[in-house]
């Protein structure tokens, strides 16, 4: 018989869907993170959690847990919402963005989740599982998901206006007044959060940034170097320069698409895309709210070094960089779901309490996994 700690990530997943009867408070929030229970499961079991019938104590706690979920099912509300966003900073034209919203009685705040390139609100809304004590809004960026006519993705640059529209929707709703707004973003979504906070200011109380790139130029240039390194070609610097010029030339967008896909591994044919330089590192010094950065060891699209440059550049009073054993782009949550849930919520707790000792810290879990 092996003993495993119960997965607080999946507990969060269930609780996000079915809030418990008691009103959440900062005390219960802290207790939920601090508590760790042990459940016995046979080593051969591969289906979801199985409890032996001859262990009444553990089985009874499991039954009570299920009943608490059932009794709390009516305490949350899930709805579709829409809001308008500006096309860019120099036009009065607007788009309508659609989203999903979860509201909970006595929520501690609202988390706005921003998806990555070629994704949508349908994928990002799953991460409400992390925030059982918060309202959660997930929405489609321009050219993604619903309502995409006459829109183009800029992979973060103009998407900052989508973020601003989402924040205004939350802050102008009476039920959210006076409560903190938290941003969680993945890749392009993390970049859009950072750029929006830097451009508009005073949007978020804290940011959780999973694998943001520091510069599209640097990321694409590095990938092109790597791809060309396998070719015995003369004049590689000239080839790289020509590729980068073609990428950002409006007249050569048809040529730019296969170049982008070849270098990045992302398919721009899934989303109408206008390639422009996106360089959040130039705006990072304007970020003065707490930030939690996440990076994967084996991410070939956005390296640990790229995320660390952003971490170093922000002027946050409290910041963390967590480097994980993730094997793919934005793969930290998949690689270590329980630890991801714990660390994200621990960061939020410290920010809400304004209780932190070290203003900056890098937690490198590439060698050893711990819950520090």
DSSP H or E segment with residue 70: helix 56-71
Q: What is the gyration radius of the CA atoms in the chain, in angstroms?
A: 22
pTM of the model: 0.82
pLDDT at 86 over 60: yes
Q: What is the pLDDT of residue 367?
A: 62
Residue 309 CB-density burial (10 A; 0-12 exposed, 13-18 middle, 19+ buried): middle
Q: What is the pLDDT of residue 91?
A: 84
| pLDDT tier at 270, thresholds 50, 70, 90 | very high
Q: Please give the residue that has the higher pLDDT: either 197 or 218.
A: 197
pLDDT at 131 over 70: yes
Alpha helix ranges (H) inside 248-336: 253-264, 304-313, 332-335
Report the pLDDT averaged over residues 216-227. 79
Number of neighbouring beta carbons within 10 Å of residue 10: 15
User: Rounded to an integer, what distance in angstroms lies between the CA atom of residue 350 and that of residue 344?
Assistant: 10
Of all residues in the chain, what percent carry a pLDDT higher than 70? 80
Q: Which of 70-74, 149-153, 213-217, 255-259 has the lowest mean pLDDT?
A: 70-74
Report the pLDDT averaged over residues 99-116. 96
Q: What is the pLDDT of residue 52?
A: 52
| pLDDT tier at 65, thresholds 50, 70, 90 | confident
Domains of the chain: 2-73 (no CATH), 79-215+278-364 (3.40.50.1820), 217-270 (no CATH)
3-state secondary structure of 158: coil
pLDDT at 4 over 70: no
For residue 276 the two structure tokens come to 């422009």
Number of neighbouring beta carbons within 10 Å of residue 173: 16
Within the chain, strands assigned E span 2-5, 38-41, 77-86, 94-103, 110-114, 135-139, 181-186, 206-210, 291-296, 319-324, 360-364
Q: What is the pLDDT of residue 302?
A: 93
| pLDDT tier at 147, thresholds 50, 70, 90 | very high
Pick the most confident of 17-26, 65-74, 189-198.
189-198
pLDDT at 209 over 90: yes
| pLDDT tier at 85, thresholds 50, 70, 90 | very high
Residue 162 CA from chain centroid, whole number: 15
Q: Please give the residue that has the higher pLDDT: either 132 or 81.
A: 81
Beta strand 181-186 with 135-139 is: unpaired
Please give the full DSSP string across 173-204, using - where no structure is assigned. SGGGTTS-EEEEEETHHHHHHHHHHHHH-SS-
Q: What is the pLDDT of residue 268?
A: 86
Report the pLDDT averaged over residues 2-14. 38
Q: What is the pLDDT of residue 38?
A: 33
Q: Which of 151-155, 209-213, 368-372 has the lowest mean pLDDT?
A: 368-372
Q: What is the pLDDT of residue 236?
A: 60
Q: Which of 18-32, 166-180, 267-281 has the lowest mean pLDDT?
A: 18-32
For residue 321 the two structure tokens come to 């960089």
Q: Please give the residue that has the higher pLDDT: either 174 or 248.
A: 174
3-state secondary structure of 284: helix
Cα-Cα end-to-end distance for the chain: 28
pLDDT at 164 over 50: yes
Decide if 116 contacts 177 (C-beta within 8 A): no
| pLDDT tier at 365, thresholds 50, 70, 90 | confident
Residue 102 CB-density burial (10 A; 0-12 exposed, 13-18 middle, 19+ buried): buried
For residue 134 the two structure tokens come to 């918060």
């Amino acid at each position: 018989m092996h003993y495993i700690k119960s997965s607080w990530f999946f507990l969060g997943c269930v609780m996000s869907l079915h809030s418990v009867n008691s009103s959440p408070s900062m005390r219960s929030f802290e207790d939920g993170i601090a508590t760790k229970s042990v459940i016995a499961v046979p080593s051969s079991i591969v289906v979801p959690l199985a409890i032996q019938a001859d262990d009444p104590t553990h089985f009874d706690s499991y039954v009570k847990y299920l009943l608490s979920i059932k009794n709390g099912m009516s305490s949350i509300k899930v709805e579709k919402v829409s809001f308008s966003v500006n096309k860019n900073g120099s036009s009065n034209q607007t788009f309508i963005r659609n989203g999903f919203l979860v509201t909970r009685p006595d929520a501690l705040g609202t988390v706005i989740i921003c998806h990555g390139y070629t994704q949508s609100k349908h994928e990002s809304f799953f991460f409400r599982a992390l925030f059982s004590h918060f309202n959660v809004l997930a929405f489609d960026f321009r050219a993604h998901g619903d309502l995409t006519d006459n829109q183009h993705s800029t992979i973060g640059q103009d998407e900052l206006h989508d973020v601003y529209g989402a924040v205004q929707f939350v802050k102008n709703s009476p039920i959210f007044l006076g409560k903190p707004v938290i941003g969680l973003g993945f890749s392009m979504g993390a970049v859009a959060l950072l750029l929006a906070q830097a451009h508009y200011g005073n949007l978020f109380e804290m940011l959780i940034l999973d694998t943001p790139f520091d510069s599209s130029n640097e990321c694409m240039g590095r990938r092109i170097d790597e791809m060309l390194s396998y070719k015995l070609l003369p004049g590689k610097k000239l080839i790289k320069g020509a590729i980068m010029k073609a990428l950002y030339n409006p007249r050569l967008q048809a040529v730019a698409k296969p170049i982008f896909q070849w270098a990045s591994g992302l398919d721009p044919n899934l989303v109408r895309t206008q390639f422009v330089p996106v360089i959040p590192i130039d705006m990072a010094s304007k970020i003065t709210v707490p930030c939690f950065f996440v990076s994967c060891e084996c991410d070939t699209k956005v390296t640990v070094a790229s995320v660390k440059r952003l971490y170093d550049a922000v002027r946050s009073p409290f910041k963390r960089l967590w480097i994980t054993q993730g094997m793919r782009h934005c793969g930290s949550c998949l690689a270590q779901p329980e630890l991801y849930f714990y660390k994200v919520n621990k960061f939020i707790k410290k920010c809400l309490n304004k209780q932190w000792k070290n203003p900056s810290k890098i937690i490198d879990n590439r060698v050893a996994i711990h819950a520090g």
